[in-house]
A = this chain, B = another copy of it.
Amino acid sequence: MNDQPAKFTLKLSCEDRLGIVADVATTLARAGCNIVEAQQYDDLENGRFFMRVDFTAKTGLTDTRAMFGPTADRHDMYWTLRHADACRRVLILVSRFDHCAADLLYRAQTGELNMNVTGVVSNHPRSALNLTADENVPFHHLPVTAETKQDQEARLREIIDDVDAELVVLARYMQILSEDMARYLRGRCINIHHSFLPGFKGARPYHQAHTRGVKMIGATAHYVTGDLDEGPIIAQAVEPVTHADTPEDLMRKGRDIERRVLARAVSYHLQDRILLNGTRTVVFQD
């Protein structure tokens, strides 16, 4: 196993200019790295360039980063370089509806999602949830009221820092994060909103959808920002509904969409497939 080359994922963005692809590819080729997959995107509107490269190398992470550094500096890149198979530390937040959380835990357990769930946080007690999580996943009950909101969030932040969470997933966590917290988690906190944004922002979107009489419902996974339901969208999906569906039917049908969309968004994040582009995302799909 010792001699098998390691696989890395490089993602980067920078100002677009002639020769970047050549420069990146040549840097890797000279270091004996083999590009397995590469995707790129030029945003002609704002002149930004985005790229994701999977490659194999004979060196370790530190040396590989050192090798690529000068190229990154030359183009003033925002960039990350990680082991492609690195297991990331993830914290899951959930309120009463735990279908998304249960789904993520199952996918972590089977290895489909390459993540280590370092904890589940809920404002409801464990007994109120359906998920039959592994006993090894710590559960934190953080009840919250209007009065205790600030304290609760301080406690939440301690947990995030304690487990050194690389990603925080709001898996139907029905509490609104403060602007401070949203800023602290910028680019590493994914929420699932149970509507096809920008339709039906805010509370009770399935009831709103029923009232409006739409013929499809959807769900939206997005990065959390201080501006509620306005964060950069990562993934969306919809399913048809009919006039006969009550708000409760919509909630039931919607659960399947929410699970699927959130799992896809988390998967893309874990694989370094997403780059922020202002208020939007670049998603290099698999």
A residues touching B (Cβ–Cβ < 8 Å)? 18-19, 21-23, 25-26, 28-29, 32, 34-44, 99, 102, 106, 109-110, 112, 130-134, 196-200, 212-216, 218, 232-238, 242-244, 246, 249, 252, 255-256, 260, 263, 277, 279-283, 285-286
CB distance B18 to A34 under 8 Å? yes
Distance in Å: Cβ of A272 to nearest Cβ of chain B: 15
**Residue among A35, A235, A238, A255 having the largest count of chain B Cβ atoms under 10 Å:** A35
Distance in Å: Cβ of A158 to nearest Cβ of chain B: 28
Chain B residues whose CB sits within 8 angstroms of the CB of A40 once the complex forms: 35, 37-38
CB distance A279 to B102 under 8 Å? no
CB distance A244 to B110 under 8 Å? no
CB distance B109 to A130 under 8 Å? yes
Chain B residues whose CB sits within 8 angstroms of the CB of A29 once the complex forms: 18-19, 21-23
Question: How far does the alpha carbon of A131 sit from the alpha carbon of B36 in the complex, in Å?
Answer: 34
Q: Which residue of chain B lies nearest to A112 when distances are taken between CB atoms in the complex?
A: B252
- Other than A213-B279, A213-B281, give 4 A-B pairs with Cβ distance below 8 A: A21-B29, A44-B246, A196-B216, A249-B286
Partner of A283, one of B19, B216, B242: B242
* Protomer copies: 4
CB distance A132 to B134 under 8 Å? yes
Q: Which residue of chain B lies nearest to A37 when distances are taken between CB atoms in the complex?
A: B42
Question: How far does the alpha carbon of A281 sit from the alpha carbon of B280 in the complex, in Å?
Answer: 32
**Residue among A26, A212, A243 having the largest count of chain B Cβ atoms under 10 Å:** A243
Question: How far does the alpha carbon of A110 sit from the alpha carbon of B131 in the complex, in Å?
Answer: 9
Question: How far does the alpha carbon of A129 sit from the alpha carbon of B174 in the complex, in Å?
Answer: 32
Closest 8 CB pairs of A and B: A213-B280, A22-B25, A22-B29, A19-B29, A199-B199, A21-B25, A22-B26, A132-B132
Question: How far does the alpha carbon of A193 sit from the alpha carbon of B109 in the complex, in Å?
Answer: 24
Chain B residues whose CB sits within 8 angstroms of the CB of A133 once the complex forms: 132
Chain B residues whose CB sits within 8 angstroms of the CB of A109 once the complex forms: 130, 132
CB distance A212 to B199 under 8 Å? no
Partner of A200, one of B18, B102, B134, B198: B198
- Tell me whether A198 and B212 are in contact in the complex, defined as CB-CB below 8 angstroms, given that A106-B102, A132-B134 are known contacts: yes
CB distance B37 to A28 under 8 Å? no
Q: Which residue of chain B lies nearest to A274 when distances are taken between CB atoms in the complex?
A: B243
